């Protein structure tokens, strides 16, 4: 090779090292590092001089076994290639996750063996996954298992009961006189009380028992290894006594009690939801008996059975009398204002009770033939709307909710095909199924087959609904052949006030992006919700700020009246600019904090949904600052200045709130004026950071940052 060619080759290699976004590590035949690029140094914290001449095991974390590395070297020897996920250790001792790709090659010039490793840092994604897993399994307030983990524990408990021939008690516990605590002492005191109650229950139960916070002041307990009724009620008696002992909350003595309804498997059989409903029914009978007591569900309760049969007959009659109708809730692109489609939601126009919502009647038909009949009616009605829209050249999709029971029923695909045949002109690419994540995971293999068939044979797409609530969401999103995920509305609705919910929303968006899935946010109830979602990279949404569910006949009027908020329009040109959107996100969080105090003083509001005043590290802005430091979106000097300015702002904000809580409104109002000045100072500083960006990095209007004050 000529000297010129060698020089060109060397230049190309240098260019490769400089330009690629992955870390590069090259080792010789003796597995000694001979070269690395700057990206790898950034990832590991080591300099080139510290790495060259060492073996790659310098970075070993100890998390992989010897068998893992043996398999890696075997693959390299046999195939000349290996790719996998590895945990390594940085110079500072911290762990990081990477996707490592290794190629075994021969240098054509020297004939020497070398290994080329490409490293992609996926630590942030792993952290997102871990945080989502934790938040998806446990209640944020009490740290008890939530409903999702409860479902998993229930299946395990049932299997154990069957295997050991012992009884399983499913208990529904509700606190007596809890509401006055919230009303008189405030929600903070109520939260402290719930934490203490959870701790007492946990200490009273046995190691293998489960207690879950089911919602509000309701708890569900699974008591296994029960020998008889007396065995169970002795435990419940001790528990009710323990929970009735006085509580010391905020220097006040609080007295409450608990009532419990329970049912026993296998005498009572059914799904987890069925057994919980039976326990819940019995709970309210216990409360009528005078509270601080417990009652067992009687499986031979014929009166209850007669009542249920009457309700099922009424639903069956409603189907024949056309009393059901579909309400449609728009889904839009928040950047463009384009209507992309509608979610169809069933309603029952009851002749006596008026308009009834799904939660009032769908639980009655779970697991029955009526559930399938009603589901088929929904499919047929949705296709009818599609037929009308397509005749009018409206490219809207419609999505319907289908239960896992209906999807898994015998003959589902055949019946679906027959219904589709009734609408030969409908383009099915605009037809979507929505399945609840938690339901989809109950019988994953069956759901996967049905969903895949619908996509491949009918061109019907599937959306994974309420994403983030399923206890196995991260491990199964890769398996389910879905086209989109919907962020559960409870996370979206509460993300302005709850930092953990905000983390979940941001994590779900990032996860959906990594799997190239559309992401839709439901529960968008304010312009601010939309601004934050847009800053996080989510453009598709539905919620009350856009429109409530409505009859199909009202869609035209809604379209004429609906105007896309101006605060959303400015994101149209900024979608691809991460620095702009991230800085905007910080400003929105900062505004939330300021407004939380302003509303308390000016409107005398102290709503639990206001952005709470908590420690810097736990605040929206504090979490943003920590994340930004890791992502290196702005230079360290600017970031440190921003941190100092926010610390000053947060300190004054906390002091102002304390004055409000102490009833010193006038002093608080003086602080509020200074607080607005510090907000403005931070705003102007962010503008100065933006002014240093290169042309083209920021194209959106800076009017986003203007304040009303």
What pLDDT does residue 20 have?
A: 63
> Would you say 387 and 350 are in contact if contact means Cβ atoms under 8 Å apart?
no
Sign of CA dihedral 149, 541, 445, 266: positive
Give the tens place of pLDDT for each residue, 98-157: 989 999 888 766 778 889 898 988 888 777 777 677 777 888 889 899 888 899 899 999
For residue 480, how many other CB atoms are within 10 A of its CB? 19
pTM of model > 0.85: no
What pLDDT does residue 362 have?
A: 85
**Which pairing describes strands 339-350 and 294-296: parallel, antiparallel, or unpaired?**
unpaired
Using pLDDT thresholds of 50, 70 and 90, give the confidence band for residue 17.
Answer: low
* pLDDT(695) > 50: no
* pLDDT(468) > 70: no
What pLDDT does residue 267 have?
A: 85
Give the tens place of pLDDT for each residue, 396-453: 999 999 888 888 888 899 999 999 999 999 999 999 999 875 554 545 667 788 999 9
Average pLDDT for residues 557-573, to the nearest whole number? 87
CA neighbor of 468 nearest in space, from 190, 136, 237, 215: 136
Using pLDDT thresholds of 50, 70 and 90, give the confidence band for residue 707.
Answer: very low
> Would you say 325 and 347 are in contact if contact means Cβ atoms under 8 Å apart?
yes
* pLDDT(23) > 50: yes
| DSSP structural state of residue 458 | I
The span from the CA of 328 to the CA of 330, in Å, is 6
């Amino acid at each position: 090779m000529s000297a010129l060619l060698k020089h060109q080759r060397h230049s190309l290699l240098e260019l490769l090292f400089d330009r690629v976004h992955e870390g590069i590590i090259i080792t010789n035949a003796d597995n000694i590092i001979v070269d690395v690029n700057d990206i790898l140094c950034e990832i590991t914290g080591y300099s080139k001089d510290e790495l060259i001449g060492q073996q790659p095991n310098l970075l070993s974390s100890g998390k992989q076994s010897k068998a893992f590395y043996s398999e890696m070297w075997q693959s390299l020897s046999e195939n000349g290639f290996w790719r996998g996920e590895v945990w390594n250790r940085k110079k500072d001792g911290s762990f990081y996750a990477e996707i490592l790709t290794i190629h075994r090659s021969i240098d054509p010039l020297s004939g020497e063996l070398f290994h080329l490793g490409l490293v992609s840092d996926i630590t942030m994604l792993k952290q997102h996954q871990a945080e989502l897993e934790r938040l998806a399994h446990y209640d944020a307030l009490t740290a008890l298992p939530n409903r999702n983990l409860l479902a998993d524990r229930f299946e395990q408990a049932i299997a154990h009961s069957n295997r050991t021939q012992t009884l399983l008690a499913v208990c529904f516990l509700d606190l007596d006189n809890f509401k006055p605590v919230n009303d008189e002492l405030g929600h903070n005191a109520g939260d402290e009380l719930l934490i203490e109650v959870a701790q007492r229950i946990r200490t009273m139960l046995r190691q293998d028992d489960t207690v879950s916070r089911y919602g509000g002041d309701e708890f569900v307990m699974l008591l296994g290894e029960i020998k008889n009724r007396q065995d169970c009620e002795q435990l419940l008696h001790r528990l009710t006594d323990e929970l009735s002992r006085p509580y010391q909350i905020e220097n006040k003595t609080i007295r409450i009690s608990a009532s419990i309804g329970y049912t026993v498997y296998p005498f009572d059989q059914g799904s987890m939801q069925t057994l919980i409903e039976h326990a819940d029914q019995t709970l309210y009978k216990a409360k009528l008996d005078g509270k601080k007591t417990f009652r067992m569900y009687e499986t031979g309760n014929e009166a209850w059975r007669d009542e249920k049969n009457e309700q099922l007959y009424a639903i069956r009659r409603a189907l024949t009398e056309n009393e059901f109708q579909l309400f449609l809730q728009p889904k839009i692109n928040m950047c463009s204002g384009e209507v992309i489609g509608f979610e169809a939601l069933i309603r029952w126009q009851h002749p006596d009770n008026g308009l009834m919502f799904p939660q009032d009647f769908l639980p009655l038909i779970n697991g029955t033939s009526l559930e399938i009949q009603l589901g088929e009616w929904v499919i047929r009605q949705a296709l009818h709307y599609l037929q009308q829209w397509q005749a009018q050249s409206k490219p809207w999709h419609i999505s319907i909710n289908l239960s896992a029971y209906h999807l898994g029923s015998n003959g589902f695909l055949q019946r679906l095909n027959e219904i589709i045949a009734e609408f030969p002109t409908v383009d099915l690419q605009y037809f979507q199924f929505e399945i609840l994540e938690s339901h989809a995971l109950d019988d994953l293999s069956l759901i996967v087959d049905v969903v895949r068939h619908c996509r491949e044979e009918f061109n019907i797409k599937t959306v994974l609904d309420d994403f983030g609530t399923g206890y196995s969401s991260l491990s199964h999103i890769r398996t389910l052949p879905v086209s989109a995920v919907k962020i559960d509305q409870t996370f979206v609705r509460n993300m302005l006030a709850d930092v953990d919910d905000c983390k979940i929303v941001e994590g779900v968006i990032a996860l959906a992006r990594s799997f190239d899935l559309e992401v839709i946010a439901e529960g968008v109830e304010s312009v601010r919700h939309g601004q934050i979602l847009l800053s996080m990279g989510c453009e598709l949404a539905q919620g009350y700020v856009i429109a409530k569910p409505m009859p199909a006949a009202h869609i035209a009027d809604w379209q004429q009246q609906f105007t896309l908020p101006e605060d959303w329009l400015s994101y149209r040109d900024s979608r691809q600019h991460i620095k702009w959107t991230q800085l905007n996100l910080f400003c929105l969080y900062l505004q939330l904090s300021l407004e939380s105090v302003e509303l308390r003083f000016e409107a005398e509001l102290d709503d639990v949904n206001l952005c709470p005043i908590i420690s810097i590290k736990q605040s929206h802005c504090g979490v943003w600052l920590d994340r930004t430091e890791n992502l290196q979106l702005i230079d360290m000097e600017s970031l440190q200045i921003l941190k100092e300015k926010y610390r000053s702002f947060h300190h004054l904000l906390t002091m102002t709130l304390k004055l409000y809580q102490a009833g010193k409104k006038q002093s608080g109002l003086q602080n509020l004026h200074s607080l607005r000045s510090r907000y403005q100072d931070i705003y102007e500083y962010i503008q100065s950071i933006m002014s240093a960006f290169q042309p083209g990095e920021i194209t959106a209007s800076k009017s986003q940052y203007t304040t009303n004050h």
